[in-house]
A and B are shown apart, each in its own frame.
Chain A
Amino acid sequence: MTAPTSTTTAVVPTPGDDDGPAAPAPAAPAGPAWRDRLLDARPVLVPLAAVLGALAVSTGLAALAGATPAEAATALWEGMVGTPYAIGSSLNVAAVLLLVATGFLVAHRAGLVNVGGEGQIAVGAVAATAVGTSLPSTVAAAVALPLLLLAAAAGGAAWASIAAWLAVRRGVSEVITTLLLNFVGVAVLVLSIHEEALLRQPVTSSETLPQSSPLVDAAHLPLLGLPDSPATAAVVLALVGAVVGSVVLRRTATGVRLEAVGRSQPAARRLGVPVDRLRFSALTTAGATSGVAGGVLVASVPYVLDEGLASGYGFSGLVVGLLARGSFTAAVGIAAALGFLVSGGINLQLAAGVPASITQIAESLIILGVAGTAIWTVRRTTRTRRPWWRSRTTGRTAARPAPEVAP
């Protein structure tokens, strides 16, 4: 084996005297240096290949829909970066995705997969709307906006805490609960804008749309002030969130403990780490950032809560979180890329008549490509095997966990 040439080299364990139940050393074939270097580059090359493959398929589909590759590319490009307006809307989408992904990464560090972004966005948006429509019109923006965002965070966190509580206390997989809570959360949103007793705007005629009244002016997110750009303060908010998340996970004791919990609950518990509390907080935090994403969505044009508000953002945010593989820097880049792709896709439909779902096709193909090639790109670590739907902590002999004593 030649010396590692990149930071992502698979570390080949040097099995010495142990024949115990350690993970087998990944069989790294010895080969010439260029081959090693190529193998080292796999974590970058493979996603790149997945992206290119997805683009190729999408181009083919666009052609099927009647758009020549040139037309499709032009429409996509125009929608992405063609105008300051396009760039601004792309950035706004990216901000929402980054908020969802930031929470996803925090929960994922603790070994939890938050699939519930959509429901959390929906409930966060409902909470934000409740605040944003009920504030008196005289209130200052400096009061209204923080209140709105806090309410959004609380709504999302509360929604996620249902799943978190079930995971910690009842041992139910957060994957299944957050997934189911998506459907319920979206239904809560729909309910609240269909009932006048809740958030529906006053029904004056049969034409009255099922949506909320507009938010008071003070609760509108300010624009960044870039010329001709609709980019809002959400972009800054999301970036700050990502930086904070990154610092907490990488530089603080809490971050290290979260990672220990994510990799081995029994070992973390053995070493006095408050496993249950951290898992609960991590998933609830994920709910909070998704909730804020929902708040950001209602506090942007057109400043109302409507039925399709949450649609798609939850899954795309999850995609960003998964592809980022724990890196916030990567999350920022991927969120931006997807944000541009989504805006481009909308223009693709408007300008070239290609159904906008083509961008979702591309997104899911990328995920399938990256996840499907993980055995070649991700170094196998001995993560504690976690039954997917139930977080049993120790082996077959496990009984109830001992109560945790606060430090």
Chain B
Amino acid sequence: MTTTLPPAPARENDDGTAAPPALALRGVTRVFGAHTALDTVDLEIAAGEVHCVLGENGAGKSTLCNIVFGSLPPTTGEVLLDGERFAPSSPADALARGVAMVHQHFSLVPTLTVQENLLLGRGVRRLRPDRAGLAARLAAIAETLGLQVELDARAGDLSVGARQRVEIVKALLDDPAILLLDEPTAVLGPDEVDSLLATVRRVAAAGTAVVLVTHKLGEVMRVGDRATVLRGGRVAGSGPLAREGGAGTPGAPALTAADLVGLMVGREASSLDPVLAASVGVVPTAGPSHDGGPEAPARSGTPVPAQGPAQVPAPATGDPVLTVRGLTVDDADGARRVDAVDLEIRPGQIVGIAGVEGNGQSELVAALSGALPASAGTVLLDGVDVTHAGPRRRTALGLGVVPEDRHHEAVVTGLSVTTNLLLGRLHRFRRLGLLDRRAMRAAAADLTDRFDVRTASLDAPMSSLSGGNQQKAVLARELSLDPLRCVVAAQPTRGLDLGAVDDVVAHLRTAAARGVGVLVVSSELSELLVLCDRVHVAYRGALRGPVPTDAPDARDRVAHLMTGAPA
């Protein structure tokens, strides 16, 4: 379902008019230690426009938001609001000056009700919160924007979409002059994205300057008036957008989607692997000429990235390596998180699980890895019942797991790279009861070489590695298990830059080509569609589908399932 978007508002101060921009950054630089996150960034945003800030992970988008919202001071440079210097020392300062922000991971206190959360922003210094004033303002927002919230629900109990709505209402409560949205669509389903983008346009139409930070091109092209692309902390390019439906600005050369991809990754859009193109939100078919068979969705047998080994389509005929029957997981409070899931993966298959976050994917992966007990159902690994086995036994039977939360569960950040790689197999490095450090280092060196993990030293703490290299280290550990029958990868590309995404995808495909069954859980639907053979959809703990990815209408069918509509 698509929403009709209101037309773009006329921009008064496009070029050369006297009115100062609502928000301007002049030469803003931010340095962290030896790393420059933002490098002399200039930016101007006018009232009433939707200005998209694009860039890969690590390009500096979040740093930029944090500087404008007062969470972080710039190292040098200045921020101007309506032409006046603005140096907020805290979010409270920014809010007081009419700068509001919708945070990627929300700013709602989960144990408070929606009403209490909304009151937080309005005078908690007062003994009696202003409930009447809040109600009046909410009514106004409901009328102008059609946004309604359930006041008495606990924020933590809301669905992601509903929480997002509360977050936006909260940001709009004080009628901000500037609204920053940091990756607002990252956790939303397709229809929720539509309604969010419609809201964004309406907010801008009411005269607010909107900064939409994202790495997804599709949404930029749908709602943006102008775009600025960041790459490695610098402005790689900026300008008005050639909007879909021909709403481009006459005069200045408008940026197309292909231009933006080029600016974001620093190379031609056409040179991208389909998975990479998908991860920035360019639908392969919409892009220009594609060297690797543009129309056919990529499967595990289609061309792989240049550095990936050549592979033949893996036969998916062996006995299933992973069989899940009726798997049910209840949490400590008795709420059903995973509901009678059936799943079967054969050697060489890559199976995806899509879905809006919070639909039981995390719990499913935890149950498969042995971190959460199953309330009912069975899990067979290579024919062996492991339903009640702990992680150690599952690993021994050939189950590799790439956990969702890298810093929490996948690696011990304070320990060395060597220890992290070998922690699960320390017993192999014992000599006279003591650890044979030399043998450990040799084994670790072998793994880091094979998986191209770049580290200053094998003894360096894991925390000193970049996210991409940490993830590669996790893959090195999990894919070098012997035996290896099945890999469960949860959000394996989250937070990585394109180069690392490329490597991760190549490693997963190589594993599948070796006859390993691969299960990928991701909220990046586009990525799943090009990587997997078939995609299931997680919805309220149950799995729906599967949808074969070579079906011509695969994307629509999956998106449809994600809304909870009957298959």
Contacts and interface: CB of A to CB of B under 8 A. Distances in A.
A and B co-occur in one complex: yes
Interface of A: 1, 11-28, 30, 247, 251-253, 256-257, 259-260, 263-264, 266-274, 381-384, 394-405, 407
A400 B403 CA distance: 18
Interface in B425-470: 426-427, 429-430, 433-435, 456, 460-461, 463-470
- Main SS class of interface, B: mixed
13 contacts: A11-B461, A17-B497, A17-B499, A20-B407, A26-B33, A28-B34, A260-B412, A264-B412, A266-B405, A269-B391, A272-B390, A394-B366, A396-B156
B412 A399 contact: no
A20 B494 contact: yes
Query: Which 6 A-B pairs have CB atoms at the shortest separation, nearest pair first?
Result: A18-B467, A272-B392, A16-B466, A20-B495, A17-B497, A381-B414
B435 A268 contact: no
Contacts of A11: 460-461, 463-464
B415 interface: yes
Given A15-B32, A19-B58, A405-B390, A264 B408 contact: yes
A24 B32 contact: yes
Contacts of B403: 270
A399 B57 contact: no
B476 interface: no
Given A30-B34, A263-B413, 16 more contacts: A1-B34, A14-B35, A18-B497, A19-B59, A19-B467, A20-B406, A27-B33, A28-B34, A252-B433, A269-B371, A270-B410, A273-B423, A394-B366, A402-B388, A403-B373, A407-B392
Instruction: Name the residue in B370, B373, B401 with the highest tally of chain A Cβ atoms < 10 Å from its Cβ.
Output: B370
Contacts of B460: 11
Contact of B419 (A18, A21, A256, A402): A256
A405 B494 CA distance: 32
Contact of B58 (A18, A394, A405): A18
A259 B57 CA distance: 31
A20 to B, nearest CB: 3
Contacts of B393: 405
A290 to B, nearest CB: 26
Q: In which size bucket is the chain B interface?
A: 35 or more
Contact of B414 (A1, A27, A252, A263): A263
A40 to B, nearest CB: 15
A23 B414 CA distance: 11
Interface of B: 32-35, 37, 56-59, 61-62, 110, 156, 329-332, 337, 362-363, 366, 369-373, 388-393, 395-396, 401, 403, 405-415, 419, 423-424, 426-427, 429-430, 433-435, 456, 460-461, 463-470, 494-497, 499-500
Given A260-B423, A269-B391, A17 B412 contact: no
Contacts of A383: 414
Instruction: Name the residue in B110, B337, B388, B467 with the highest tally of chain A Cβ atoms < 10 Å from its Cβ.
Output: B467
Contact of A267 (B373, B411, B469): B411
B468 A381 contact: no
Contacts of B433: 252
Given A15-B32, A25-B33, A266-B408, A257 B331 contact: no
A382 B463 contact: yes
A14 B461 CA distance: 11
A13 B32 CA distance: 10
A305 to B, nearest CB: 37
A264 B243 CA distance: 48
Given A18-B57, A257-B426, A404 B414 contact: no
B468 A267 contact: no
Nearest to A407: B392
B415 A405 contact: no
Contact of B415 (A259, A266, A395, A400): A259
A399 B373 contact: yes
A128 to B, nearest CB: 30
A292 B59 CA distance: 57
Contacts of B467: 16-20, 22
Given A27-B32, A260-B412, A252 B407 contact: no
Nearest to B433: A252
B538 to A, nearest CB: 14
A256 B426 contact: yes
Nearest to A273: B423
A399 B332 contact: yes
B463 A381 contact: yes
A402 B110 CA distance: 27
Contacts of A274: 392
A28 B31 CA distance: 10
